[in-house]
């Protein structure tokens, strides 16, 4: 049961981080936010690793594990999380998070394509249910709003779906890395390495990605909010997910960690006062139900 609780803790952590990111994004651009978030969060994680005497674990990781962790970070945290922040800024927490949490569906697509596993009736049914949930999230309360607001909504949902696609690849790589070194200290070292790799990459590319250098002029409160979200999501959340992979199977851990839409829709509505209707709420619930059907039936 510890693995299941760890997966649930990851879902809660990602909800909290989404709220913090959304608040910070009201004052900065997604790419600038991700540069600051990953750079400073990697420093915090590395300092913690040194403080608890686990730096040797990081430096002694097998080459194939290090490569998997690094590529996972570039795909998931670099490209995926930047698009995630774009979707948060465009359509808000209550809509963006449920759509990005459809990544387990894409994970099963990769398994079917590259591992040759057959597509079962539960996978097909779950996919249809998830698509229905995404459609409900795309509906506006006012029937006649088909102008610029509708266009932004569609673009935001598309970006969120691409995020889910990238996350599914990243998580698959992280799962493989953790399987090859199945213990708690290695799981934390792997997570730190994936954050550190993309942080260094973004720091080097920052002058080209953010030509206005707005990440250097960010307010301290915004920086603190982004770092707080980074520590909660990349430190606590991903560590809990990695630990859940060790203690239980991915088939159980992934759907539990995907309960984030339920928490995010509630939090986005109550705490951020985002406008969602009953159909949007039902869409979030349906997406979670579809994920559970895929993995647990």
What are the residue ranges spanned by the domains of the chain? 2-296
Retrieve residue 79's tokens: 């490209």
Give pLDDT tens digits for 273-296: 887 778 878 888 888 888 777 766
What's the CA gap between 227 and 140, in Å, rounded?
33
Band (pLDDT 50/70/90 cuts) for residue 145 is very low
The set of residues, in sequence order, having a beta carbon less than 8 Å from that of 251 and lying 6+ positions away, is 295, 296
What's the CA gap between 22 and 88, in Å, rounded?
6
Retrieve residue 133's tokens: 């949930």
- The 3-class secondary structure across 49-64, one letter per residue, is HHHCCCHHHHHCCCHH
- In terms of Cα–Cα distance, which of 226, 225, 206, 240 is closest to 11? 240
User: How large is the average pLDDT for residues 194-200?
Assistant: 92
What pLDDT is recorded for position 175? Answer: 75
* Contact of 178 with 245, CB cutoff 8 Å: yes
Q: In terms of C-beta density within 10 A (0-12 exposed, 13-18 middle, 19 or more buried), how is residue 204 classed?
A: exposed
* Contact of 139 with 167, CB cutoff 8 Å: no
Residue 250 has pLDDT above 70, yes or no: no
- pTM of the shown model: 0.85
DSSP string, 128-141: HHHHHHHHHHT--S
The distance between the two most distant Cα atoms of the chain, rounded to a whole number of Å, is: 60
What's the CA gap between 81 and 30, in Å, rounded?
9
What pLDDT is recorded for position 222? Answer: 93
User: How large is the average pLDDT for residues 210-221?
Assistant: 85
What's the CA gap between 83 and 75, in Å, rounded?
11
Query: What phi, psi does 28 have (nearest 5°)?
Result: -155, 170
| Residues counted in the chain | 297
Give pLDDT tens digits for 54-98: 888 888 888 998 999 999 999 999 999 999 999 999 988 988 988
What pLDDT is recorded for position 213? Answer: 81
* Contact of 253 with 187, CB cutoff 8 Å: no
């Amino acid at each position: 049961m510890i693995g299941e609780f760890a997966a649930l803790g990851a879902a809660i952590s990602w909800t909290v981080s989404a709220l913090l990111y959304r608040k910070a994004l009201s004052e900065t651009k997604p790419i600038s936010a991700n540069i600051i978030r990953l750079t400073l969060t990697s420093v915090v994680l590395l300092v913690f690793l040194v403080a608890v005497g686990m730096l040797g674990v990081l430096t002694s990781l097998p080459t194939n594990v290090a490569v998997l962790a690094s590529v996972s970070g570039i795909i998931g945290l670099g490209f995926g999380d930047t698009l995630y922040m774009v979707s948060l800024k465009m359509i808000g927490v209550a809509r963006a998070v449920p759509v990005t949490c459809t990544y387990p569906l894409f994970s099963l697509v990769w398994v079917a394509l590259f591992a040759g596993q057959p597509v079962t009736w539960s996978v097909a049914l779950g996919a249809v249910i998830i698509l229905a949930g995404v459609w409900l999230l795309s509906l506006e309360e006012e029937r006649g709003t088909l102008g610029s607001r509708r266009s932004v909504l569609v673009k935001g949902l598309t970006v969120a779906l691409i995020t889910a696609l990238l996350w599914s690849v990243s998580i698959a790589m992280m799962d493989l890395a953790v399987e090859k070194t199945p213990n708690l200290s290695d799981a934390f070292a792997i997570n730190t390495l994936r954050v550190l790799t993309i942080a260094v990459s973004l720091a080097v590319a920052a002058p080209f990605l953010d030509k206005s250098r707005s990440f250097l002029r960010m307010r301290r409160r915004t920086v603190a909010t982004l770092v707080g979200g980074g520590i909660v999501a990349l430190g606590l959340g991903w560590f809990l997910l990695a630990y859940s992979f060790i203690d239980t199977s991915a088939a159980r851990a992934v759907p539990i960690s995907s309960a984030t839409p339920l928490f995010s829709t509630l939090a986005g509505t109550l705490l951020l006062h985002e406008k969602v209707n009953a159909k949007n709420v039902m869409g979030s619930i349906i997406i979670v139900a579809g994920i559970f059907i895929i993995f647990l039936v």
